[in-house]
Amino acid sequence: MIVYDLSCPKDHRFESWFRNSNVVEKLIKAGQVVCPHCGSTKVQKAPMAPMIGKTSIAKSSDDAAAPQAPQPTGELTAAMEKAAEAFSELRKAIEKNFDNVGGKFAEEARRIHYGESEKRGIYGEATIKETKDLLDEGIEVLPLPRSRRSQAN
Ligand SMILES: [Zn+2]
């Protein structure tokens, strides 16, 4: 599929998809390409290089004013920023409500699990092996991404 920018005598610009570049002229001559804004079939290729996979298939006049969808990369960035924000919020909540046990996380999690320590929410550092061992023992731990700023305490 290939998309072309087209224009009609009233200077409406629109895009249309074609199977390949060879059929464009044929379809225009046959009156198969219609301006979605005024219905004119006297359309011509707008002076612009054809682009593949630019936006969507030629729209009806109804949604011609619909807002342009953001570029996929922008969407992805926004999603990642949102996720980072959510993680940051989660982290803040944990740092506020949970006890920081630092490097003794695995030890303390185990003590809480076996009733040797006060039952409470804790957070701290644990190696992958420690985390795996805890999970193997049925101790619930939730790995958190490291925050960008390093914790001084
Ligand atoms: Zn038109």
Under the banding of pLDDT at 50, 70 and 90, the label for residue 27 is: very high
Contact 7, 44 (CB under 8 A): yes
Give the environment of ion ligand 1: residues with CB less than 5 A.
8, 10, 12, 35, 37-38, 40
Lowest-pLDDT choice from 37-46, 55-64, 108-117, 127-136: 55-64
- Ligand 1 center to 1 CA (angstroms): 23
Q: How far is the CA of 42 from the centre of ligand 1 (A)?
A: 9
Whole-number Å distance, alpha carbon 36 to ligand 1 midpoint, is 7
User: Could you tell me the residue ranges of all domains in the chain?
Assistant: 2-58, 72-136
Distance CA 40, CA 34 (A): 6
- Buried b / exposed e over 13-36, threshold 16 CB at 10 Å, is ebbbebeeeeebeeebeeeebbbb
Lowest-confidence segment of 12-26, 67-81, 128-142 by average pLDDT: 67-81
**Cβ atoms of 25 and 43 closer than 8 Å:** no
CA 110 to chain centre: 38
**pLDDT (0 to 100) of residue 96:** 87
39 bridge partner residues: none
**Ligand 1 centroid to 72 CA: how many Å?**
29
Please state the separation of Cα 113 from the chain's center in Å: 38
User: What is the Cα–Cα distance from 85 to 79, expressed in whole angstroms?
Assistant: 10
Q: Which 3 state secondary structure label does DSSP give 35?
A: coil
Question: Ligand 1: distance of its center to the CA of 29 in Å?
Answer: 16
Q: How far is the CA of 147 from the centre of ligand 1 (A)?
A: 54
pLDDT at 31: 94
Task: Compute the distance from residue 62 Cα to the ligand 1 centre, in Å.
Answer: 14
N- to C-terminal Cα distance for the chain? Answer: 59
Helices (H), 32-149: 72-97, 105-113, 128-136
pLDDT in tens, 42-99: 999 886 554 555 444 444 455 444 455 555 677 777 887 888 888 788 778 888 888 8
